[in-house]
Amino acid sequence: MLCLPSAASFRPADPAARGALASQQQQQQQQQSLPHPHTLAAQGRLPIPSAAAFRPADPTAQGAIASKQQKMFRMREFDHFVVIDFEATCEKDSRIYPQEIIEFPAVLVDAATGALLSSFRTYVKPRHHPQLTAFCSELTGIQQQQVDGGVDLATALGMHDSWLASAGAAKNRLAVVTWGDWDCKTMLESECSFKCLNKPRYFDQWVNLRIPFEAVFGAGRRNLQEAVREAGLEWDGRLHCGLDDARNTARLLVELMRRGASITITGSLPQPPPPAPEPEPELQLQPQMAPLNHSISWCTGAAATTGGCCYCGVPIRCDMVTTPGPMHGRFFFGCGNWTPTFGPMCHFFLWAA
C-alpha cells in the first residue's frame, strides 16, 4: 500500500509562496465558474461591460461627448410639431375682402419618432362672404353645405386647442409647421385682427418648411406637390384639400427629419407694443361715447382710441362727415389703410353711436 502525502506536505514553507499559490488557485476557480464567451453568444447573452469601460480617460474626449449630447438635446427643441394648411374664401383673378378661413386642418407629429399621431379638421363658416364662389368650391373641393354647417373661427380655435390637449401635446413644447408663411403670418393673423379674436400664442411663430427643404434639395420655386415628389414621396390625396395638404406636408417634414435637416423656428409675428397709458380724466375733451363696436373706446375730433382693425388688418380710423346733409357732423369708423389719392383699401365702415 502506497502512502500518499498529505496536503500539508505540498504547502510551501515560505508564507509569501503560500499567498501566491492561494491567489493562483482562486483565479483558476473563477475562470472555471464563468461560462466561455462563445457559450454566452450561443445563448444570446453577451457580457455587458460596465459604464466605466466606455468612459474616455482623456478629459478632451469626455468634453466632446458631452458637447455631442448637448447638441442632440438642442435638436429636439420640441416634443411635437402641428402641421396646418388653411383653405380660405377666394375668387379667380381677384381678391376677396375680407378673406376668411373655411377649412381648419392640422396633423400632429411626434418630434422624436416622426410618427403621425393624430389629425384634426373642422369647417369654418365665413361671416362676410357666406356664399362660396364656384371657383373656390372647384379649387378646394369644399361644398356650400359643409361651410353652412361649420363653426365660427373662435370656436374652431377652441376646438383645436382641446384636440391638442387630448393628444397630450404641451403648448410650450410644440411648433407650428407650414409650407410658406401665408397661413400664420397673413391669413390667421389678419382674420383674428379684424374680428378682434385672441388666438393661442403658439400661432405667433412657425416653421416655414420651405427653408429646411431648400437647405437639403437646393433653392428653387416649387409648390408643395412638386416638393413632395422631389423628396421621393408619392402625393396622397387631393391638392388644395386642407387636410390632405397638411398630411403631405407632415410626411415631407418627417422625410426632412430623416435626412438630418434642422427643423427650427423660421418666422414669427412682431410682439405688440405695450399698451398706452390711460388718459387722465381731466384731460378728456368730451365724455366717452357708447359705441356700436365694443372694440372702440372713445372718439374725439378726427382721432380714435381703438383695439379693432379693418379688413386690411390695420387699426381703424375715426372721422366725421363734413359734407352738408342729414349726416353732417356724425362720426364714423372706416378703413385705416386710407390715402387721399386711393381712398380706403377695404370696405370696412361703421357708424359711431
Question: Does residue 264 belong to any structural domain of this protein?
Answer: yes
Residues annotated as catalytic (active site), given as ranges: 87, 240
Residue 340's domain comprises 316-351
Q: What is the CATH number of the domain that holds 192?
A: 3.30.420.10
Question: Does residue 38 belong to any structural domain of this protein?
Answer: no
Question: Does residue 201 belong to any structural domain of this protein?
Answer: yes
How far apart are the C-alpha atoms of 161 and 315, rounded to whole Å? 28
Residues 143 and 225 both lie in one domain: yes
Asked if pLDDT for residue 89 goes beyond 90, the answer is yes
Residues 117 and 238 both lie in one domain: yes
Residues 93 and 173 both lie in one domain: yes
Give the tens place of pLDDT for each residue, 304-346: 334 577 777 778 878 877 778 787 778 888 887 777 776 777 7
How far apart are the C-alpha atoms of 84 and 82, rounded to whole Å? 6
Asked if pLDDT for residue 181 goes beyond 50, the answer is yes
| Residue of 118, 89, 122, 90 whose CA lies nearest to 105 | 122
Residues 218 and 324 both lie in one domain: no
Q: For the chain, what percent of residues have pLDDT higher than 70?
A: 70
- Of the two residues 188 and 275, the one the predictor is more confident about is 188
Asked if pLDDT for residue 223 goes beyond 50, the answer is yes
CB burial of residue 340 (10 Å; 0-12, 13-18, 19+) = exposed
For the segment 257-270, the average pLDDT, to the nearest whole number, is 95
Q: Which of 235, 268, 301 is the last residue of a domain?
A: 268
Give the tens place of pLDDT for each residue, 99-148: 999 999 999 999 999 999 999 999 999 999 999 999 999 999 999 999 99
Query: How many C-beta neighbours within 10 Å does residue 164 have?
Result: 21
What is the pLDDT, as a whole number, of residue 27? Answer: 54
Asked if pLDDT for residue 279 goes beyond 90, the answer is no
Residues 186 and 329 both lie in one domain: no
Residues 262 and 323 both lie in one domain: no
